[in-house]
Amino acid sequence: MVARAARAADLADLDGEVSDCFACPRLVDWREEVARTRRAAFRDQRYWGRPVPGFGAADARLAILGLAPAAHGGNRTGRIFTGDRSGDVLFAALHRAGLANQPTSVAADDGLALRDTRIFAAVRCAPPDNKPTPAERDTCAPWLHREVALIRPTLRVVVALGAFAWAAWWPVLREVYGVRPPSPRPAFGHGAHWSGTTAPALLGCYHVSQQNTFTGRLTPGMLDDVFARAKQLAGVD
């Protein structure tokens, strides 16, 4: 896995390698089972059913790190956060912030483009119950590390959606930037902020899950505040 990720010369190479990964048997079984059985609303669609690569600008100054693709979202459409309720909330917020050209994302060919922004996940396959294991996170980590390395020249800030993504970021400091992660690790929280001297700033944001957005734990205004802060730290107008 490490060797496959390391040999990706650019993001296109990396996306191809990610899409052909079969390293975690439990995740492979699940993503393919979901793609075979399908949800009733999408019974006539052909599911992607593979690991989902990152999406967005190759010269991104701002990155959004999520947990994993949704079973009937990215696992169906082949693009992260595309085709599910979480993506509806996220891309609407990015559009308000001037980081996306449209407020919706329903399919990989719907014309969505991101400005100064790239989105990727800590785990690239849809997991059962949206809960990857620590071992699956660690197995998938080389993809994240290589993706960050490829956009390192421009990357200035990372927004971690949820505690899982927040925790997945710290090994990136060591593997990509040669920086020892802070000890103890800063606690995750909405609006939490960590800055180093040679690595991108890290901002915490509650995940855009239905559990958070439907209950009001995460509101549009709270998302807007996070992205306004992220743009400021990244130097994006």
pLDDT for residue 92 is more than 90: yes
pLDDT for residue 7 is more than 90: yes
Task: Tell me how far apart the alpha carbons of residues 120 and 68 are, in angstroms, rounded to a whole number.
Answer: 8
CA nearest neighbour of 172 among 65, 80, 58, 54: 65
Task: Tell me how far apart the alpha carbons of residues 235 and 225 are, in angstroms, rounded to a whole number.
Answer: 15
Arithmetic mean of pLDDT, 120-135: 97
Task: Tell me how far apart the alpha carbons of residues 23 and 30 are, in angstroms, rounded to a whole number.
Answer: 13
3-state SS, residue 129: helix
pLDDT for residue 1 is more than 80: no
Q: What percent of the chain has pLDDT over 90?
A: 98
pLDDT for residue 82 is more than 80: yes
Q: How buried is residue 215: exposed, middle or buried, by Cβ count under 10 Å (0-12/13-18/19+)?
A: exposed
pTM as predicted = 0.97
3-state SS, residue 5: helix
Q: From the centroid of its chain, how far is CA 3?
A: 22
The pairing of strands 117-121 and 55-56 is antiparallel
Please give the pLDDT value at position 2: 84
pLDDT tens digit sequence for 175-185 = 999 999 999 99
pLDDT band per the 50, 70, 90 thresholds, residue 68: very high
Please give the pLDDT value at position 123: 98
Which of 57-88 are b and which e, b meaning 16 or more Cβ less than 10 Å from the residue's Cβ?
A: beebbbbbbbbbbbbbbbbbbbbbbbbbebbb
CA nearest neighbour of 47 among 16, 24, 69, 21: 69
Q: How buried is residue 158: exposed, middle or buried, by Cβ count under 10 Å (0-12/13-18/19+)?
A: buried
Tokens of 232: 């400021």
pLDDT tens digit sequence for 32-61 = 999 999 999 999 999 999 999 999 999 999
Please give the pLDDT value at position 142: 98
